[in-house]
A and B are shown apart, each in its own frame.
Chain A
Amino acid sequence: MATSTLPKGESLKPQPVEAPTMADWTQPRAMAIPKEGYFQLQNGRYGAVYPRTPACHGFTIIAKIKPGREETIRAYGKTIENAIDDLPDALATLKLHYLRWVLFDIGKDTYFMYQGIFDTDFDKYTEDAVALFKSLGVNTVFENLEGFPEDWKTNAAAFVKFVREHQCPSFLEYGEYPYVTADEIKKALKLKAAFSNMLDLMQ
């Protein structure tokens, strides 16, 4: 469709190749980040805006778990695995690249680390996550963490506050293919698959 949306007199010449920009994926990039997690304070809807880095947006949330909850938390791993097997798009709205969940001990206490790499901004990710957990009818693993607001289902602002209070900003992030979103990567892989199909058909 729409092949004739071209206005009359419009040249069909390809546009010039774009100059490399900050978002040029061919140039690996590293970014050292100040202690605060941002360069200049810029406010977002729920607090400071964390910059998009060569490794995209992300979370590193570290919080102490409630005593005796380690096995409950580990069981969430299987719960999420099964949920994604059943419904591969379940987390699509979060625009994730990767999630890494880790449990580790410091002294007698056990801590949970939730690392996520994603393409939406911090506040939107958190809001979407709250909505997602509620719509799936699942409780969140966060309920096993100390200080997590019990009314999180009706109080998105409290959820966001907890996440922000437990966020440990990176001081270095690196991207071998910087600033590329998960959607762009999927598009490129689809394109590659389409080309190899095309080449097969031409044999």
Chain B
Amino acid sequence: MGTIEQPPGIPGVLIEPTDGRSSLEFDDIQHFLMSRPPARAARYEFLTFSSGSGGRAWLSGLIDKVGTAKAVGANVSAARWVTVGFTWNGLRALGLSDASLATFPEEFRQGMAARADILGITGTNDPNHWVGGLANANLHAIVILFARDVAERERCREEHKKHLKECAGVELLSTLDLEAIPPFDYAHEHFGYRDRLSQPVIEGTGVEPTPGSGPALKAGEFFLGYPDEEGPPASLPQPQALSRNGSYVAYLRMEEHVGAFRDFLQQHGKTPEEQEWVAAKLMGRWRSGAPLVLTPEKDDPELGADYSRNNDFNFATMDPHGYGCPLGSHIRRMNPRDTAANMNRRKMIRRGGTYGPELPEGAPDDGVERGIAAFVGCASLVRQFEFAMNVWANDPNFHELGNERDPIFGTQDGSYDLTIPKRPIRKKIRGIPAFTTIRGGAYFFLPGIKALHYLVNEGKGG
């Protein structure tokens, strides 16, 4: 998660291998989870279909705009990148047969709002408080637009508005505009943490994992129809023409309470150095991105910005007791590395960006909503995304901690703690406040291009 903008030279930009060894269908897979284009603005549009034929007409007119992994990888001068996804209700509204609808996994059929308590999305995060109509059963589709700049986004907004006007029976439920926040030379979010330091790499994409990121993972962990880390694909939604090259994404609109976060740092650190230390212990990295495992005592911004080193560490042998990186810190929960089982079955690809204006350092909280609106991409929501939320983010007894949740991302109500291992005696911060609130979320299926055509044609006879 983090800003939208992608500084040049960061590993992760897709280059399709030219040796023909890859079995991935780059011309059919949507680019979204494959590559990260250099966008500084974005817009998410949430749609509902009151008419199946209207929805199909709308989709039919949009397919050519959807960026494939092949097109996005090849065209470095593009100015906008379009992705489209559907909820299960949306697939039904488009006219997909009941037989096919029944083959989608239970968690996707239910949708995120129905499973909020499983995810720990409770209290002030509860779907009853969500905005933008995302908890409603008539949320059917999302169009994700990433644009090189705000002007290009505005141009595309107008273009899509015209297209919507031509398609009766397709209405906007809500929209969200996103923009990168300054400084623009590195990816970071509103709390000031450098972002995108640890992302899985997919076998056959030509992207090399950064040191410490582990080997590239089988494509089936993220795209349906390919072998995954345990073998050939199984239990795919039917027909294959619909599921092949598709992925699931979990969308989360997460408000960041920057004022509360800064107050907390001031409350627990007397000097700016102490405050940085507290911020680092919550995350497991200094805000520069430098990992506490590698530099536990002082920040090292050069290390934080160096992709050949900033992810090159483990926990089990390099920091088993958490003296550097606390056992309950954010990065230790969301990517336990060598301290959890079956890690290759739990990896997720994150996309998204920041929304809302930056809150300048020293300015009082202005009450304006700001945060991260992000997507977690995977092949199994229950095994990958829901596991991370349920066990890693919100299990109070993670690593035998007893009464803690992810201090940044977990569901907090002031009743959980954070233990900071320290010699001679640990420091325990009691009553961690909520620095974030989930304001909306949904599960979408991102079909491959052929599957989009299938959806356009499928409902016609019905």
State the A residues within 8 Å of B (CB): 1-10, 12, 14-15, 21, 23, 42-46, 52, 93, 119-121, 124, 127-128, 131-132, 134, 151, 154-157, 181, 183-184
Contacts and interface: CB of A to CB of B under 8 A. Distances in A.
A6 B278 CA distance: 11
A2 B118 contact: no
Contact of A14 (B234, B270, B425): B425
Interface string B386-403: 110011000101001011
B296 A131 contact: no
A8 B273 CA distance: 9
17 contacts: A1-B296, A1-B323, A2-B324, A4-B297, A5-B324, A7-B269, A7-B277, A44-B118, A45-B118, A45-B382, A45-B390, A121-B390, A127-B387, A131-B345, A154-B230, A156-B383, A183-B400
A15 B345 CA distance: 40
A93 B342 contact: yes
Contacts of B382: 45-46, 157
B276 to A, nearest CB: 10
A15 B425 contact: yes
A119 B323 CA distance: 24
B192 interface: no
A12 B277 CA distance: 17
A8 B269 CA distance: 9
B273 A12 contact: no
Contacts, number: 91
A10 B400 CA distance: 26
B390 A5 contact: no
A45 B277 contact: no
B107 interface: yes
A137 B39 CA distance: 46
Contacts of A44: 118, 390
Nearest to B233: A154
B89 to A, nearest CB: 20
Contact of B296 (A2, A23, A128, A157): A2
Given A7-B273, A45-B118, 7 more contacts: A2-B323, A8-B273, A12-B424, A45-B382, A151-B234, A156-B383, A157-B105
A154 B277 CA distance: 45
Given A128-B342, A131-B230, A5 B422 contact: yes
Interface in B334-393: 341-342, 345, 382-383, 386-387, 390-391
Contacts of A93: 341-342
Interface of B: 105-107, 115, 117-118, 230-232, 234-235, 269-271, 273-274, 277, 296-297, 323-324, 341-342, 345, 382-383, 386-387, 390-391, 395, 397, 400, 402-403, 422-428
A77 to B, nearest CB: 24
A42 B296 CA distance: 40
A128 B341 contact: yes
B113 to A, nearest CB: 13
A119 B423 CA distance: 28
Secondary structure call for the A interface:
loop
A127 B386 CA distance: 13
Which of B232, B270, B323, B342 has most A Cβ within 10 Å?
B342
A64 B277 CA distance: 58
Given A43-B115, A45-B386, A157 B106 contact: yes
Contacts of A4: 297
Closest 3 CB pairs of A and B: A154-B234, A93-B341, A2-B323
A45 B383 CA distance: 9
Contacts of A121: 390-391, 395
Contacts of B273: 7-8
Contact of B391 (A15, A124, A156): A124
A43 B391 contact: no
A2 B425 contact: no
Contacts of B395: 121
Contacts of B423: 2-3
A34 to B, nearest CB: 19
B115 A184 contact: no
B379 to A, nearest CB: 13
A5 B345 contact: no
Contact of A6 (B271, B397, B422): B422
Given A23-B402, A124-B391, A184-B400, A5 B323 contact: yes
A8 B425 contact: no
B231 A154 contact: yes
A87 to B, nearest CB: 14
A9 B275 CA distance: 13
B235 A154 contact: yes
B234 A155 contact: yes
Nearest to B423: A3
A69 to B, nearest CB: 26
B235 A15 contact: no
A42 B107 contact: no
Contact of B235 (A120, A155, A181): A155
A103 B274 CA distance: 60
A119 B107 CA distance: 25
Contacts of B345: 131
Contact of A43 (B117, B230, B269, B296): B117
B74 to A, nearest CB: 35
B323 A10 contact: no
Contact of A131 (B324, B342, B391): B342
